[in-house]
Each structure stands twice: as C-alpha cells, then as structure tokens.
Chain A
C-alpha cells in the first residue's frame, strides 16, 4: 500500500500532445477515479502509471519511489483490463497463477494464494474452467483475482465494468467498493461513467483533451464544479445550464431569466466577480434536485425561492417525477417527488434552492464565484 503521486506528467505521440501536464496525488488507501469523455487521455494516463506507455515528461511516484522507466512488472502494480484480458488457452487457475509462476514462486505458495483469492471472490468452482466457459461477471471476478494475488501497492482498473450489463454492473460496483474497504489498497480507476466515479471514488479527477479540469472529492466535483464542462459532465440528469442576465434590483444583485411570462428574477450572490458582470450575460446552473416542487424542497436551507413556471413535459420515473420546464429560452429539468401532482401544460409554482445554484461566465465557461 502506498500513495501515488503524478507530477506534471506529459505524453505526446509525435506532435500530438495527449497529456498536457497532469498533477495528481492520491493518499495511501485512497480510491482515485479518472473520469472524462472518450479520447480525454484517461486510459493513456493509466497506461503511463502501469508502465505500458513511456512518458514524455514529468514523473510518477509510487510510495516514495519514482517508477519512471521501470518495467511494468517492477512497479508493484496490478491491472484489471476492460476486456479482462484472460489468457484464453489457460484455465482460471493457470490465469491466476501465471504471474506468480513467472516470478518463480514455489508451487505450494502459489496454491495457497490461489485458494485464498478463490475463496474471497467465490470462484473456487470455476478454477478448472477455461475463460471461454465463463460468463461476463465470472470473467470479471477472475480478472480481479489475478490482480489480487499480486498483493500490489496500487491497483489499476481500466473501465472494468463497461462490458457488463446494467444490473451486473451495479452489483460488481458494490463488490469493488467492498473489496476496497476490506483490502484498503490504493486504487486508480478509469471510467467514463460519472455515476461509477461518484459512488466509488474518494478523489475524482475530471479530464478533458489531455488536461486535468478538476481534482477533488466527489462532493467538491458535484457541488463545486470549476467550469461548465465539469458541471455538465457529472450528475444525471445533468445540471441545467440556463442563459441569464445579471441585473441590480434595489441594490441587490439578481439574475434575470426569460420565463413563461416576462423575465423572472432570482437572487445572485454578492461578489466582486458577479458585480463585474452587471448588465452582461451569465450562465445560471442549477441541478435538477435543487429545482423541485415546494413541498419537496430542502427545508434546511434558508434560500428557497418560489417562482411560477410553465411545465412542458412530465416524465414519471418511479422514484422521481421529472418535469421539463421552459426557462431562459431552454428546456430545464426539475426533479419532483414521485407523487407530486403536476400536469403538462400547467403553470405551477416550483422552488429553486439557491444555495446550490452556481454561475458561469459564458465566454470562458469558468465558474463565477
């Protein structure tokens, strides 16, 4: 077990720079999730940590030791691949013991390690089978077993759940979390699924186009996004990002949104940055759960603002009811209680939890605080 530090990591393929100076640090026993859209460089970053790709600049430290230039097998890491990468010609048992065999571990010790892992992952009855005779979930378990027998400093997971069906994915997610709690080993986990990122991580790194946009706890990433990309990428349904204008009303800063009957005013936080935008456009961001029916609104905060809105579409989803509302010239999604009485085409009162509202500069897309 060890902390992992990535220091100004750069990686280019010829003239194309795919990682543009990444700085990350995850404490011993932490769970770091690298998240971002396809092509953002997250898998490349993981491969750099694993040593499967050479780096073009910067440094990677596992524990206190720089691993730059070290062979993958010398870095004390274990990796679970997206396709599981089980050797097709070997039984499950051989798959798990292959690495130990290469390292010249005696047979008795290998068998003990296999048995321990097989019990932990409940794959004992699969040991004599070939990978082609396993289901997706079983292959996933075997792949994890192969990583576990190494007892490494850092586990690397490359989108391990993306080949599973939806239900199994949720089960395996819980299992990975349980495994992490039991083992306490540092994990680096790549995914494009923001729910996986939020549920598993102790720290999340959001990447886009080879740049680290934000690095923080799930709570920071979700509630304090640094820019519109992070705000939009994390959370499902995603945050409502609505064009508004900063105005002054009786000395207080307000944002003005185009509502169903003229403009709607909502209070904005008093700050120099906000005041600088007076009279200009701003993007008003509010998550669907902070935009709800007055009965369902969070009563612990004193910043509930009620406004009448025009409900365009109603989408009951069992646990919640989603209402699509016309706001600021766009469709905004409000998340209501499941049994909220609401009809499409109606004008109804909805509550804005302004303590959760965030504002962005439309030009730079950066957060305005």
Chain B
C-alpha cells in the first residue's frame, strides 16, 4: 500500500518536473532570443543582414562592426565611435554612484540611530523623491545647473543623478540600519566613539550587502538614463545612451545594422558585468533590508 503510494508520488513528481523544466526552458529561449539576434548580427558583414535571415548564424565571421562601433562610427556629426561617450558615462556614473551611496548611508544612519524631532517627516520627503517623474524637474533643474555654472558638464549630470538617487539610497540604508541593533551604537557612544567613528568602525563593516544592492541599483539607473543625458549634456559630456541613439538615428548614409547591434551591446555591457559580478548579493541584500526593516 505504502509502496504503491510512493510510486504514484514519484511518478507524479517526475511529470511535474518535466512540465516545469519544459516551461522554464521555453521561457529562457524566448528571453535569450533578442540577445542571440544582437550577437549574431553584430558579427556579420552588413551584406548578410541585408540578404535577410536575421536568425541565421554568420557565414563570414567578422569583428569589424565592433571595431567600427567602438572607434570610428559616425555619431551625430563626427566619426568618433562610441569610445569617448563610454568614457563620459564612466566619468559620470562612478562619482554619482559613490556620492549617492555614501550620502544615502549617512541619511540612513542619522534617520535610524540619531533620529530627531521630525526625522519621520524628513524621511517621508526624501521618499517622495522616488515618485517625482523626471520630466517635471527638467526645466527647474536646467535653470539651477545654469545658475551654478554646471550646465552641460559631466559634473552637472553627476549632481542631478546624485540628487535623484538619494531617495532610493536613503530608503535602502534606512531599512537596513533600522534592523541594526541600536545597543551597539550606544555601547560605542559609552566607549567614547564619535559620530563618524561609530559609522566607519561599527556600521560600515556590516553594511556590505546593502552597499552592493545600492551600487547595483544606482549604477544601472544612472548608466541607463537617457532623459537627463539628452537634456543636460553638451557634446563633450554626452553619455553612452545618448550616443547610442545618435549612432542609430544618424540620418545620413546607410543604416549599418551590424554596427548598431554591436553598439547596443557595448552600451549594455557594464550593467551586465555589474549584475554578474555582484548579482547574487542583490537579492540577499534586498531581502535583508525588507524582512528585518
């Protein structure tokens, strides 16, 4: 009786597993298809794409589209390739991520461990920043950037992204530090540690998971931003996303689809690398903040 029951259970679970795996594989193929199309077509000469067969593998393998996209494709008016814009983006993303992460950590530290009268309201206002649509602030922001002399510079973009990121980074760190035992802070106070000593010696060493979450979040958002880049950047501060658009939308000459594909992959590469390197901490960190906070 029990043996028969076990057989049925086993058979049932095997069928379920088969169904689950089939569905998963189908979905994986579905989601990987665009990447496949981009990769294969970026490795073909242009004639092959024109000849149709987007889904077929290249007959002649070539890296020329990648070279073109990187160093000599026509972007807007000059044949510079994406390289200078890639560097622009890096120059913008790294300070913006570092600054917004650090300031978010400070905000979270103060809001949870040094809470003051009205700190709840301050936190609420900071959270509101997460819900303000980008478009609303474009004109006031352009005015302010002009007034402080940062219009059209990379540092202007850094400022915009830092301020915009603050709502989210504060939320992440506040939730994480809310679960951090306040008694540790009090013990450190009695030990005589100062405001910053407590932060660097006690809280910071335990913050790795939430720092990873914040860095991934901010890096992805700032790197992928198009609107602020297209609105506030001058020619020498244009970020990658805007340059990619200019590459694809160049109105003169032939449409070099293989170069476009290579450029698109180049633009997506850094966020992909960040995810692959630290992605496994992402969910863990998010959960830590969410469950305990």
Contacts and interface: CB of A to CB of B under 8 A. Distances in A.
Interface of A: 47, 50, 52, 71-73, 77-79, 81-83, 85, 87-89, 98-99, 102-103, 146
A4 to B, nearest CB: 16
A11 B73 CA distance: 71
Interface string B182-222: 01101111111100010001100110000000000000000
A72 B190 CA distance: 5
B181 interface: yes
A306 B201 CA distance: 68
Contact of A79 (B184, B187, B197): B187
A85 B187 contact: yes
A73 B39 CA distance: 62
Interface extent on B, as a size class?
10 to 19
Nearest to A83: B183
B183 A99 contact: no
Contact of B181 (A72, A83, A99): A83
Contact of B202 (A52, A87, A99): A87
Given A87-B202, A89-B205, A89-B206, A81 B186 contact: yes
Contacts of B183: 81-83, 85
A343 to B, nearest CB: 51
Contacts of B187: 79, 81, 85, 87, 146
Given A71-B189, A79-B190, A88-B206, 10 more contacts: A52-B189, A73-B192, A83-B181, A83-B183, A85-B187, A87-B184, A87-B188, A87-B201, A89-B202, A99-B190
Interface-centre pick from A47, A78, A82, A99 (highest chain B CB count, 10 A) = A99
Chief secondary structure at chain B's binding surface: helix
Given A81-B183, A82-B183, A73 B206 contact: no
B192 A99 contact: yes
Contacts of B193: 73, 98, 102
Given A88-B206, A89-B205, A99 B191 contact: yes
A101 B172 CA distance: 31
A89 B192 CA distance: 18
A52 B182 CA distance: 11
Contacts of A81: 183, 186-187
B197 A102 contact: yes
Contact of B191 (A82, A89, A98): A98
Contacts of A82: 183
Contacts of A79: 186-187, 190
B192 A85 contact: no
Nearest to A103: B192
Contacts of A50: 186, 190
Contacts of B201: 87, 98
A146 B189 CA distance: 13
Nearest to B181: A83
A144 B28 CA distance: 56
B191 A85 contact: no
| Minimum-distance CB pairs A-B, first 8 | A73-B192, A99-B191, A89-B205, A85-B183, A85-B187, A81-B183, A102-B192, A72-B190
